[in-house]
């Protein structure tokens, strides 16, 4: 059995700093680490002090939440600021499927700079024997760039065929719901400043979680879990329609979504899967009986906010592990839905629709589902010459399939869901 190497203790110091105008300027242009919403959040810079899992690493011998708990328990943390994102923090991304080639990944950078409620801070992280890391410095943004994108392994006709096959699996009683995705593939210029992609998403979709972790960049509307001083919240999104072209059409679209039996059934499956997963690790769990409408610039979603309190010594990463994959991104029942997805999708989703976020030494953190995103540098470079001047990029979008689904309508839903990342890459 492969053993996880013992990680040396860390020295962590957080202090207040003057206001920061541009957090993104402080992170690596070519490998940004960022978690942003409404102009606030955290960014990482400097070398990786600790990396747990990730591409090319041996399989972990223990759950990643347990490894993080031990690392945090041995750290010496000075954190007088005491705000979300201060102290010892790791950025993380997990694969969608346990069988995926994208393993769990956590990284602790040398410095983390954050802004919350008008306060700014910097955290330095080092091994006990190492010198103080350099303070982060602002790096000007590089020139504008654009991507080339086209159909991937599952083109529009192929996707509609997959949807029909998914409906057949539902009719046969294999599953009640299955979420099927399709892919777009392309390239971006070598040396591109990826912070421009992060900024475009954060500017256009300020109410989503904009993230950048190990080349996975996106703007997710769906919070998987937030833990703050023991308080737990989760937002479930399932059931989607495009915004209307004018006020009357928009109101009609919202009303139709609220009344759609297909979308309400899809949403109910998703809420049930979240509540059932959270129940063993929480108390006082509350989920409203009916969803509300969530308004985004290009979409209406059916949304339900679930809340409770942590119990049994659990952390945000423990909750992430038991929650994922939810019915909103896999289907119901989960194991059967994963089997159908593996059969009908001719690709490995990698980290698309997997958890992405951060965790601190106390077990608090914020995690979203990696949606409206692209993985930069994801495709195996079988032809090195092909990528000599470019970097591969792959994006996914999916739709929840139930018995009443229409293949053409589900294809249109994926087009709408592709829009944020495609526009930002253009």
Just list the catalytic residues. Answer: 177, 222
Measured CA to CA in angstroms, residue 353 lies from 8, 26, 109, 374, 387 at distances of 32, 27, 24, 11, 26
Instruction: List the structure tokens of 58.
Output: 């041996």
Task: Respond yes or no on whether the N-terminal peptide bond of residue 325 is cis (omega within 30° of 0).
Answer: yes
CA 206 to chain centre: 15
* Residue-by-residue DSSP string for 385-407: GGGSSEEEEEEEEEEEE-TT--H
* CA torsion, ordered 49, 50, 54, 60, to nearest 10 deg: 160
**76-78 and 331-332 strand pairing:** unpaired
Spatial distance between the Cα atoms of 350 and 52, rounded to a whole number of angstroms: 17
Q: Let me know: does 73 contact 27? Beta carbons within 8 Å.
A: no
Contact 34, 24 (CB under 8 A): yes
Rounded Cα distance between 156 and 352, Å, is: 19
H-assigned helices in 88-210: 156-171, 195-204
Q: Look up tokens 């790096």; give the residue.
A: 139
| DSSP character string of 194-241 | THHHHHHHHHH-TTSEEEEETTEEEEES-EEEEEETTEEEEEEEEEEE
Tell me the C-alpha distance between 123 and 135, whole Å. Answer: 9
In angstroms, the CA 185 to CA 400 distance is 22
């Amino acid at each position: 059995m492969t053993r996880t190497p013992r990680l040396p203790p860390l020295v962590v110091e957080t202090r207040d700093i003057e206001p920061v105008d541009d957090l993104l300027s402080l992170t690596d242009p070519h490998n940004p680490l960022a978690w942003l919403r409404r102009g606030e959040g955290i960014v990482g810079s400097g070398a990786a002090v600790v990396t747990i899992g990730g591409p090319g690493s041996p399989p972990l011998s223990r759950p990643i939440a347990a490894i993080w708990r031990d690392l945090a328990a041995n750290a010496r943390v000075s954190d007088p600021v005491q705000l979300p994102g201060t102290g010892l923090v790791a950025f993380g991304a997990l694969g969608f499927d346990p069988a995926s080639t994208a393993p769990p990944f956590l990284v602790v950078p040398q410095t983390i700079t954050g802004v919350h409620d008008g306060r700014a801070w910097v955290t330095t992280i080092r091994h006990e024997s190492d010198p103080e890391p350099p303070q982060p410095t602002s790096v000007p943004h590089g020139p504008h760039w654009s991507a080339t994108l086209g159909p991937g392994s599952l083109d529009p006709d192929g996707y509609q065929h997959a949807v029909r096959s998914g409906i057949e699996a539902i009719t046969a009683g294999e599953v009640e719901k299955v979420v099927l995705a399709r892919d777009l593939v392309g390239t971006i210029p070598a040396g591109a400043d990826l912070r421009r992609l992060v900024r475009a998403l954060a500017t256009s979709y300020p109410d989503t979680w904009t993230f950048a972790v190990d080349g996975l960049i996106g703007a997710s509307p769906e919070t998987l879990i937030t833990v703050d001083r023991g308080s737990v919240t989760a937002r479930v999104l399932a059931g989607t329609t495009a915004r209307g072209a004018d006020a009357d059409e928009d109101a009609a679209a919202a009303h139709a979504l609220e009344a759609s039996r297909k979308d309400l059934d899809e949403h109910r499956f998703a809420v049930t899967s979240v509540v059932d997963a959270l129940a063993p690790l929480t108390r006082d769990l509350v989920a409203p009986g009916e969803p509300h409408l969530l308004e985004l610039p290009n979409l209406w979603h059916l949304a339900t906010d679930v809340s409770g309190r942590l119990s049994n010594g659990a952390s945000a990463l423990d909750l992430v592990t038991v929650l994922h994959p939810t019915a909103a991104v896999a289907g119901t029942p989960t194991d059967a839905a994963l089997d159908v997805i593996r059969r009908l999708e001719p690709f490995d989703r990698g980290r698309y629709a997997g958890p992405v976020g951060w965790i601190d030494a106390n077990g608090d953190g914020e995690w979203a589902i990696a949606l409206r995103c692209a993985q930069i540098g994801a495709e195996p470079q079988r032809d090195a010459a092909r990528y000599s001047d470019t970097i591969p990029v792959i994006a996914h979008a999916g739709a929840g399939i139930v018995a009443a689904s229409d293949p053409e309508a589900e294809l249109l839903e994926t087009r709408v869901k592709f829009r944020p990342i495609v526009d930002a890459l253009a």
